[in-house]
Amino acid sequence: MIADAEGFRLLPDHLDRAGQQELVALVGALAQEAPFTRYVMPRTGRPFSIDMTNAGSQGWIADRQSYRYSLVHPVTGRPWPAIPPALLDLWRALTDYPHDPECCLINHYRGEGARLSLHRDEDEEAMDAPILNISLGDTAIFRLGGLRRNDPTRSFPVTSGSIMVFAGPARLYYHGVDRLRVGSSRLLPDGGRLNLTLRRVTRPTP
Ligand code: SIN
Ligand code: FE2
């Protein structure tokens, strides 16, 4: 495990092969209900290089207007499917947050050219809740910065089955994905990488 004093943790290969396969199957079922979509970025309208969908009462979306949470899928207009119990179990086991997450954002990196530029997750109201990040499939070259955009960054490989937790001050670390090591895993039938992030969006009512 790699941990820092500000609340970042990397648990390499936390899930065994069967656990990873179970999550891949769950994502397949979720995507039947809530198809993967290629969002565009606000203002520029430039498309992301990855496809996204969600589970949960809240789903993260992007369009020309803004980045935001939505109660419904932007294409189907239907509520997102529920977060599967196996994912809630991981959240309860690996975070000490007393409430369940409301969003599971699912990113699909299909292969060469799929990346995610350095950003912070800051569209949530519940900034005190951690973010739990699960990797499946091809290894990602992950980039981790600090609390300010100009802080030094480092990059390291994140393998299939690895889990990262961004808690405490590290909840607001800049982060991104430089690229995949395409072909490094055989977990997904068509290759590529799935990334799941569990997030609390609204502040729980006391
Ligand atoms: C994200 O920042 O939303 C996902 C990062 C990743 O793919 O690991
Ligand atoms: Fe993020």
Block residue for tokens 């803004």: 66
CA 92/CA 89 separation, integer angstroms: 5
Cα–Cα distance list, 86 to 20, 80, 82 (Å): 11, 17, 11
Name the residue with the closest Cα to ligand 1, atom 8. 195
Ligand 1 centroid, distance to 164 Cα (angstroms):
10
Both tokens of 153, joined, read: 């960054």
Q: Which residues of 102-131 are buried (b: 16+ CB within 10 A; e: fewer)?
A: bbbbbbbbbeeebbbeeebbebbebeebbb
Name the residue with the closest Cα to ligand 1, atom 3. 197
Residue 1's pLDDT is: 66
Residue 2's pLDDT is: 79
> What residue ranges line ligand 1, CB within 6 angstroms?
105, 107, 116, 133, 140, 175, 177, 195, 197
Ligand 2 centroid, distance to 128 Cα (angstroms):
15
Ligand 2 centroid, distance to 187 Cα (angstroms):
23
17-33 helix and 85-94 helix, angle to the nearest 10 degrees = 130
Q: Catalogue all structural domains in the chain, each as residue range(s) with its CATH number.
A: 2-193 (2.60.120.590)
Phi first, then psi: give them for residue 25, nearest 5 degrees: -65, -40
* 29-69 pLDDT per residue, tens: 999 999 999 999 999 999 999 999 999 999 999 999 999 99
Low-confidence stretches of the chain (pLDDT beneath 50): none
Name the residue with the closest Cα to ligand 1, atom 6. 195
Residue 5's pLDDT is: 86
Both tokens of 61, joined, read: 């979306």
CA 150, 152, 153 angle in degrees (round to 5)?
Answer: 110
